[in-house]
């Protein structure tokens, strides 16, 4: 059985007119005898409305019941879309997460998919040409409703595609695909035709909002080809797939940035064993996730420790660091909420030297001071003063040859 999965986001199902546009995509999906599993988000605004309702009802809404409440949003979308399909003469039905046994753990509001019963789905696909599945949700083994957290419909779609061995997972959204950088700050950003899972993982975690990061991890793990494209046009969008060995990869595929950054500096820390644990142990215990860590080589037995974390965690981190400072003594702690991270990402840099040097030279040419640096196999990230973010992104975009040709 040839199956494709098509996921439509909230803006693509917001109105009847938009759903009819999505229906056109389903018709195309059905060509060549394929079956289509449609995965829907709640209609734009519905999830926010339901969350607002829960906050109106309770200062601290029970998370299990919040999931029961919020899950109605996708159920509404799925029912309405199935009505349209049936009116169009397509054999279709809606399926909730529970009905097709999308099993998750019991971590309310951000559950993780454990398994999907492909047999149930394939059995239904004998009877129906299209199944319309509620995204974003599943059930625990004892049948309680869970939700996967924001953006969870992407994960639902990719996980379903993996389970039924779909030939393609199409993510329909309101953008044309994955871009070399954020078009809002760089007018010459281009749509990418292809992107690898690894590049996308770096881009998603760096704030590219096209795909939820968990869905990218899923796609990579199960080698699901994913096409990100717009509901409101015919552009083929961006194909996310494995690295294509036969092709020359571009050195850098995209420039990402993240303003949700804060930096903490500990000056004059005694460079003795156990000091890193004394600093980062209490942060980890508090559930605060540290991003970059840079420690200068020791001089006169003391060193500086620099690290970054999410800006919204800074206040909690400050309280913890003051305690740490009291314990280890003689240390000065500085906090800086006005930093951002810019990154150049590309699988091509694996086989090419000099990307780091070009990055630094580019920023230096713009008089942008690099506060911290971290590198991975396919990424170079620099922490800079936040006010330079847009300038840095545009400069790097140009340096690595990503700029679209100027409009004539």
Chain positions contacting its own copies, by CB under 8 A: 16, 19, 50, 53-54, 56-62, 64-66, 68-69, 71-72, 75-76, 78-80, 82-84, 86-87, 93-94, 96, 98-99, 143-145
The residue among 75 and 230 lying less far from its own copies, judged by its C-beta, is 75
Least distance to its own copies from the beta carbon of 372, Å? 43
Placement of tokens 């046994």 in the chain: 101
3 state DSSP class of 105: coil
The residue among 93 and 110 lying less far from its own copies, judged by its C-beta, is 93
Distance CA 344, CA 271 (A): 32
Pull the structure tokens for residue 193: 């035709």
Sequence-distant (6+) residues with CB within 8 A of 210 are: 171, 173, 175, 177, 178, 203, 204, 228
Alpha carbon distances (Å) from 3 to 25, 29, 119: 14, 9, 13
The residue among 101 and 311 lying less far from its own copies, judged by its C-beta, is 101
Mode of pairing for the β-strands spanning 92-95 and 35-40: unpaired
Mode of pairing for the β-strands spanning 379-385 and 370-376: antiparallel
Least distance to its own copies from the beta carbon of 81, Å? 9
Least distance to its own copies from the beta carbon of 159, Å? 20
Q: Are 390 and 301 in contact (CB under 8 A)?
A: no
Q: What are phi and psi of 341, to 5 degrees?
A: -120, 130
Q: Are 140 and 146 in contact (CB under 8 A)?
A: yes
The residue among 75 and 398 lying less far from its own copies, judged by its C-beta, is 75
Least distance to its own copies from the beta carbon of 98, Å? 7
The residue among 84 and 293 lying less far from its own copies, judged by its C-beta, is 84
Pull the structure tokens for residue 382: 């620099």
Q: Are 100 and 120 in contact (CB under 8 A)?
A: yes
The residue among 82 and 104 lying less far from its own copies, judged by its C-beta, is 82
3 state DSSP class of 368: coil
The residue among 115 and 298 lying less far from its own copies, judged by its C-beta, is 115
Least distance to its own copies from the beta carbon of 7, Å? 19
Least distance to its own copies from the beta carbon of 140, Å? 11
Could you give the angle at the alpha carbon of 39 between the alpha carbons of 33 and 41, nearest 5°?
150
Least distance to its own copies from the beta carbon of 356, Å? 51
For 82, what's the count of Cα atoms within 13 Å in the CB-facing half-sphere?
21
The residue among 74 and 271 lying less far from its own copies, judged by its C-beta, is 74
Least distance to its own copies from the beta carbon of 124, Å? 10
Q: Tell me how far the alpha carbon of residue 121 is from its chain's centroid.
A: 26
């Amino acid at each position: 059985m040839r199956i494709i999965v098509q996921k439509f986001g909230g803006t693509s199902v917001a109105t009847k007119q938009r759903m009819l546009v999505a229906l056109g995509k389903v018709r195309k999906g059905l060509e060549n005898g394929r079956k289509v599993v449609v995965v829907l988000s709640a209609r734009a605004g519905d999830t926010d409305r339901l969350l607002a309702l829960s906050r109106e009802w309770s200062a601290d809404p029970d998370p299990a019941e919040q999931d029961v409440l919020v899950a109605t949003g996708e159920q509404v979308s799925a029912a309405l879309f199935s009505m349209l399909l049936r009116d169009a003469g397509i054999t279709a039905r809606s399926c909730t997460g529970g009905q097709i046994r999308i099993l998750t753990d019991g971590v309310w509001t951000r559950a993780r998919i454990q398994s999907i019963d492909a047999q149930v789905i394939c059995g239904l696909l004998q009877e129906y040409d299209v199944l319309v599945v509620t995204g974003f949700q599943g059930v625990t083994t004892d049948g309680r409703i869970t939700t996967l957290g924001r953006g969870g419909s992407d994960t639902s779609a990719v996980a379903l595609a993996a389970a039924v061995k779909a030939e393609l997972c199409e993510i329909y959204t309101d953008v044309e695909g994955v871009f070399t950088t954020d078009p809002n700050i760089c007018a010459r950003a281009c749509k990418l035709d292809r992107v690898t899972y690894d590049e996308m993982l770096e881009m998603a975690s760096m704030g590219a909002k096209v795909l939820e990061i968990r869905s990218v991890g899923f796609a990579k793990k199960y080698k699901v080809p994913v096409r990100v494209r717009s509901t409101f046009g015919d552009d083929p969008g961006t194909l996310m797939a494995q690295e294509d060995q036969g092709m020359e990869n571009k050195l850098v595929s995209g420039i990402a940035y993240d303003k949700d950054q804060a930096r903490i500096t500990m000056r004059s820390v005694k460079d003795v064993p156990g000091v890193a644990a004394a600093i980062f142990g209490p942060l980890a215990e508090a559930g605060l996730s540290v991003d970059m860590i840079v420690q200068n080589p020791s001089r006169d037995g003391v060193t500086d420790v620099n690290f970054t974390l999410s800006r919204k965690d800074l206040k909690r981190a400050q309280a913890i660091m003051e305690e740490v400072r009291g314990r280890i003594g003689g240390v000065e702690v500085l906090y800086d909420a006005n930093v951002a991270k810019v990154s150049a990402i590309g699988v091509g840099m694996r086989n090419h030297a000099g990307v780091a040097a070009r990055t630094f030279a580019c920023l230096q040419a713009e008089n942008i001071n690099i506060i911290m640096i971290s590198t991975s196999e396919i990424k170079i990230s620099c922490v800079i003063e936040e006010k330079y973010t847009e300038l840095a992104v545009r400069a790097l975009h140009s340096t690595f040859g990503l700029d679209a040709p100027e409009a004539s």
